[in-house]
Structure 1
Amino acid sequence: MSPRNSLLLVLGMASALLAQGPDLPIDPANSFKVNLPGDGPLALVSADWGRSSATARGGAMLVDLHSTLVFKNSSPRPIRGVSLLVLAQEVTPGGKASVTVPSLDIQSGESFPIRVDLRLMRPLNAGSGALVQVGLDGVLFEDLTFYGPNRLNARREMLAWELSARRDRKAMLSTLLQAGPEGLRRQLLSVLARPADNLVMGMQVARALPPTNIDPGRVVEFAFLQFPDSPVELLSGEARMTGTEARAPRIEIQSKSKRPIRFVELGWLARDEQGREFMAGTLPADLSLPPGAHSTIRRENTLRFAKPVNGLTAYPSAVEYADGELWVPAYSSLKDPRLAAALPASGEERRLAQLYRRKGLEAVVQELRALR
């Protein structure tokens, strides 16, 4: 290596170290706090803050949080989901996060761990006190009641997961009752055979940029999948497509329900240049949709995909009524040939398939028969 290149390497390393700043001394006992309501359903058993650290980064502090928290279900009801609010600074970008764990089965008096691995930002001059505080954002119980402040809409997310998991377990039970243990084995093997990652095309929602004269894009109409049991119907929609981006998507929607609706989540299938369709994420929308009324879901954003897209298909993946009740698609709707080919196996299907792989068919049969 030449002297000049050696000097450049040394300067580059020095610049990187200077930009990152020194490690800051932390005392886990005082730097990290878990705050739980005294009359709440969870009690803290232990907190291991592991390799958690803090580093100066300009005028901010970068906190790498690595912790295992053990909680106890101190309520008389089984718990199905828990969401934690992790806070380094309320108003600083990157200062707040959540950890949500669905599909639990924690009986009264049982203890369970939650792993927290997060990176948070906090101003250096934020004052004294704990660097990071962990609080309870919500608990979903077996009877689908909810406890907690729900600051980050944890209830909606955990309820959707739980309803979907119950739907998929009932479908597996139906297979067992109709086709017997061997029919269930074939279904579990088909889940294990499905790839988990290459059926998904990454999608990000980014701030929209104005079209350019170089590539203004083209207006493309969306296709839709309609489900008979859906409370909403997707009528029309379009976006300006350019390569890997769909700009300013707009969708006309109509309520088919007799109840007011306050939230709709749309799932997306993206078609690549070879004509293959992939699951490409979801787009949530808060709205106020009276019974039978029309509305427009309009986003001044850009949907950015992992690779070039030739077309998009949307379908309703969740609907929340004004009273908090949630709708998710029926199992039969998700077996639409296009969706079945594009969607990976659900979390509950994979959980049951892994149970079969670890403990055999009888373990899955016993769990499903407990539902009857």
Structure 2
Amino acid sequence: MDTFNSTSTVFSKRATQLTSSAIREILKITERPEVISFAGGLPSPEGFPIPELRAAFDHVLATQGATALQYGRTEGYTPLREWVAQDLSRPGVSIDPEEVLIVSGSQQALDMLGKLFIDPGSRVLVEAPSYLGALQSFSMFEPQFQSVPTDAGGLIPESLTADLTQGARFIYVLPNFQNPTGRSLDLARRQALVQRCATLGLPIIEDDPYGELRYAGEPQPGLLELGRPVGATVIRLGTFSKVLAPGMRLGYVVAPREIISKLVQIKQATDLHTASVTQMAVFETIRHGFLKAHLPKVRALYQRQCGYMLDALRQYFPADASWTTPDGGMFIWVTLRSGIDTTELLSRAIARNVAFVPGAPFYAGVQAPANTLRLSFVTVPEDLIRQGVQVLGELIGPAQAAA
């Protein structure tokens, strides 16, 4: 019988440089039922529309089964692409269905965009911190990451100087309830960002998985909507993971046709097309306005969960800790006093059956601060949120006077 010999197997250079996601490694620990997990960015199962999805799959298989189970167009199921185009069109900004590509989750889109834009050594601009899944995906193609300065309001558009952006292939931005910080860009910064990128000829990848999960404040126009009138190249990523269910693995890319054309070629070499039956069932679910009735319930649930965690942080964390107060999404970003290493804190927390994600893995192209962490609140009951935050507060210890 043949056996695998790791010493004689030659992997590609790319494969030898791969590392596991810090979050996925932590999630292995959180599978233990006794662990209170603030680690995973998992949507609440309470928001999964199981009866509606079951009925949609039944209907599609009963009425269009042969089509649903057959190979389909790489670009995606045409009625779903038309729905996405109509949903994103605004007065003065019309999206054509030919500018929409359906993908197997927006994580696939990140991989495809890396293949499209990044050569070894290419400069890629990212927020500091930024989404770990994007950093991991882009790293496959050996870019030179350049972090863009941020503050409490998120990315600072004025920092995009000609020197900083010289030779950059794109800037990757999460404008709404960013993962990991929960911050959002205000309208002035959005306008400044797209105008500056248009002037510099710098493409923007706008990743917006959480935009429909706003539960406070006023909705803001997307970068795609703001960018097209001023000539900015905006590539928008969206997903049905956060508004329906992540197990569907269904997302989309909206971009100029020449970019979509290249992404179609890349996708053909990747998986031919996204699952037809899933696309058709999702379209059947949402075609008559289901999300307008469904999403307010999800938003209300997440707002309650966020409130529970903010209350607990105020009660149990030391006075020298600070944290974000998101208007939507799933995350709170915590900054502890200097000298605390949250990777070491995680080890002690896991011993007390509490998990979170240290902040360091969310940084690229810059020295990561050791004293930050991300908390996700949407899947943990109120009593366990309070219990888990209390444990963390005890491990952090009381506030210390400034030196």
Q: Sort the TM-score into its range (normalised by shorter chain).
A: under 0.3
Q: TM-score, normalised by structure 2?
A: 0.24
Looking at CA atoms only, which structure, 1 or 2, has the larger radius of gyration? 1
Specify which structure has the higher proportion of helix. Answer: 2
Q: Which has the higher strand share?
A: 1
Q: TM-score, normalised by structure 1?
A: 0.26
> Which structure is richer in relative contact order (CA contacts within 8 A, separation 6 or more)?
2
